[in-house]
Structures are given as C-alpha cells and as structure tokens.
C-alpha cells in the first residue's frame, strides 16, 4: 500500500475506503469490510454527517473505535447539509459558522471521538459567505476540534476561492477516466492540496461487472456520453486491459490522488484491492492510450 502526504494529518493510504454505501443495516458485514480494510493497510475512512442522516457516522465510528488500539487511521467527515435526523430529511444547505460549530459537536459525538481528523465542507456555492465558513474552519482547527479541513466541490469558481483564501488540505471530486472533468483543473491546483478522488469505479462501470452496470445504471448515458458512447468507451478501455478497475486506479495514481473507493459488499472490496495490486501491470503505453478511448469532458457551469 502506498501512503500519500496530506498537510496537518498523517499520511493517508492511496487506496482508501468511502463509507457512504457500506451496508450499515448489517453491522456484522460492515465490520467485516472495515476490519479487512484495516488489515490491508487502508487507513483513511471517508464518511459524512449527512450519509443516512447521521447513522453512517455512528456505525462507522463505533466499529473503528473497536480497532483503535491496534491500528492508526484517519477519519474524514463532512458538514454543510443541515438535516433533521428524526424525520430523515434535508433541511437546507447551511455553510454558516454557527451551524458548522454546532454540527461538529454532533459529528464528534456520533463518531465517538474527541477530535475530527479531516473536516470537509460538503459542497459549496459561490454565493455562500465563504469567508465566514473559512473562519469557522480555522477557529475549529486552532482550538483543536479538527486537525485539518478540506472541501468537496466540483465548482471551479468555489475551488479557486478556497485555494486562494483558506488553508484547505484536501479537495474531493468525482474523478475517473470516464468522468474526467477534474483533469483540466488539476494543472492549477496548488501542490499543498491533496486530491481525494471519489467514484473511482464509476459506480461499478469500471469493474468486471461493467456490462451489467451499464444496462442497470446508465441506460440514459452519463454526463456528455450517450449510452452508446459509454459502451464504446468502456469497450475501448477493456481492449487496453481487461482489468478496468486497475486502469482507473492507474489513471488516478498518475494524478497523485487518493483513491476513495466506495463498496457495498466485502466481495467488492476484495476485488478492488486485487485490482489495486495490479496497477503496476498497466503499462505506460496503456495508460497513455486511455486518453484515446474517452471523451474529454469540461464543466460547463461555475467556471472562473
């Protein structure tokens, strides 16, 4: 397992676990996945207060705390979507300082920790009072409630503001060879900010289940791809290497990114880790050929 530096927190495993789709209604299966992740050298676990309206933080926190004496790990969580946990409803986007400072206490309690390792703004709009949000994160960092903070955003104008006016350690975006929209932004990303790529297997499209996932999840196409174009791209990628997951990971490694894998079963984690161990089997030529098989996509909105 490779580990990547992130400012203000210990190095994070290049292959990390996204906890959003874990089967938290089955805590034993969830624990099996998390325990296997820890044994495999994974030390970054990504959750959010909003996932299952607080339940994800509770289940993941409780399981991880059982393993704290044996493993060192980092938990990232997120804030900004105000919700009613009892009604299981979103109330509003809320990046204000009073809300963040109150929500962080709820996350600490649900996770069962004294300090949050990585606290991420779960979105962000150009219209937000961004200085107020940044000040809240800085104050939480100074008082030791959080170690580091970041944002999860796909909006170029928002990312640019945070890059210039805050000390974000991380930027999370959906990124993989098919959804390659972040590529054009990365040349302007400050070296001190680590990219956390979510969606590395594009919901299973970049796995050995690609045919079935294409029909089940992407009948209407995806982003700028029609269903037909998506099929052509996936077939083109498979001709480079039949391990589509390893190809995607190779692409993300070339962008110095943490690969935040989401899984809903133990088998998926096992399969994805096997592909991670095959990254080095992907030749430089196959990596370069990826760009001939995909559609370069740009964000149309929220540009600078």
Ligand X SMILES: NC(=O)c1ccc[n+]([C@@H]2O[C@H](COP(=O)([O-])OP(=O)(O)OC[C@H]3O[C@@H](n4cnc5c(N)ncnc54)[C@H](OP(=O)(O)O)[C@@H]3O)[C@@H](O)[C@H]2O)c1
Which of 44, 51, 225, 249 is an active site residue?
Answer: 51
Buried b (16+ CB within 10 A) or exposed e, 228-244: eebbebbeebbebbebb
Q: Which is nearer to ligand X, 60 or 136 (CB)?
A: 60
Pairing relationship of beta strands 170-174 and 194-198 according to DSSP bridges? parallel
Q: Which is nearer to ligand X, 134 or 205 (CB)?
A: 205
**CB distance 40 to 275 below 8 Å:** no
Q: Is 71 a catalytic residue?
A: no
Q: Which is nearer to ligand X, 144 or 262 (CB)?
A: 262
In whole angstroms, the minimum distance from the beta carbon of 118 to ligand X comes to 12
In whole angstroms, the minimum distance from the beta carbon of 285 to ligand X comes to 25
In whole angstroms, the minimum distance from the beta carbon of 163 to ligand X comes to 17
Beta carbons within 8 Å of 139's beta carbon, 6+ residues apart: 97, 101
Among the listed residues 187, 137, 142, 144, the one whose alpha carbon sits nearest the alpha carbon of residue 165: 137
Q: Which is nearer to ligand X, 140 or 273 (CB)?
A: 273
Q: Which residues bind ligand X (CB under 6 A)?
A: 18-21, 46, 78, 122, 152, 172, 198-204, 207, 209, 260-264, 268, 271-272
In whole angstroms, the minimum distance from the beta carbon of 145 to ligand X comes to 20
Q: Rounded to 5, what percent of the chain is helix, strand, coil?
A: 45, 20, 35
Q: Measure the N-to-C terminal CA separation of the chain; round to a whole number of Å.
A: 37
The residue length of the chain stands at 304
- Residues with catalytic roles: 51
């Amino acid at each position: 397992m490779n580990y990547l530096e992130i400012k203000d927190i210990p190095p994070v495993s290049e292959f990390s676990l996204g906890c959003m789709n874990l089967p938290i209604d089955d805590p034993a299966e969830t624990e099996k996945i998390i325990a296997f992740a820890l044994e495999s050298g994974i030390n970054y676990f990504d959750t959010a207060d909003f996932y299952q309206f607080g339940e994800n933080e509770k289940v993941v926190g409780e399981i991880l705390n059982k393993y704290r004496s044996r493993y060192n790990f980092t938990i990232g969580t997120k804030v900004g979507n105000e919700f009613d946990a009892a009604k299981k409803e979103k109330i509003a986007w809320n990046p204000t300082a009073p809300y963040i400072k109150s929500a962080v206490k709820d996350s600490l309690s649900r996770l069962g920790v004294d300090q949050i390792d990585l606290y991420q703004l779960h979105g962000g709009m150009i219209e937000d009072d961004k200085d107020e949000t940044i000040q809240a994160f800085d104050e939480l960092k100074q008082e030791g409630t959080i170690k580091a903070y970041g944002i999860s955003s796909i909006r170029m104008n928002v990312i640019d503001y945070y890059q210039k006016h805050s000390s974000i350690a991380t930027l999370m975006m959906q990124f993989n060879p098919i959804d390659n929209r972040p590529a054009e932004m990365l040349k302007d990303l400050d070296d001190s900010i680590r990219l956390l790529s979510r969606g590395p297997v594009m919901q299973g499209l970049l796995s050995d289940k690609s045919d079935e996932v294409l029909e089940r999840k992407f009948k209407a196409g995806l982003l700028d791809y029609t269903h037909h174009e998506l099929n052509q791209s996936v077939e083109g990628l498979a001709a480079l290497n039949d391990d589509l997951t390893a190809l995607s990971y190779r692409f993300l490694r070339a962008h110095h990114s943490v690969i935040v894998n989401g899984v809903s079963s133990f088998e998926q984690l096992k399969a994805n880790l096997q592909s991670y161990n095959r990254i080095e089997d992907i030749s430089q030529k196959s990596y370069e050929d990826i760009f001939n098989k995909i559609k370069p996509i740009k964000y149309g909105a929220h540009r600078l």
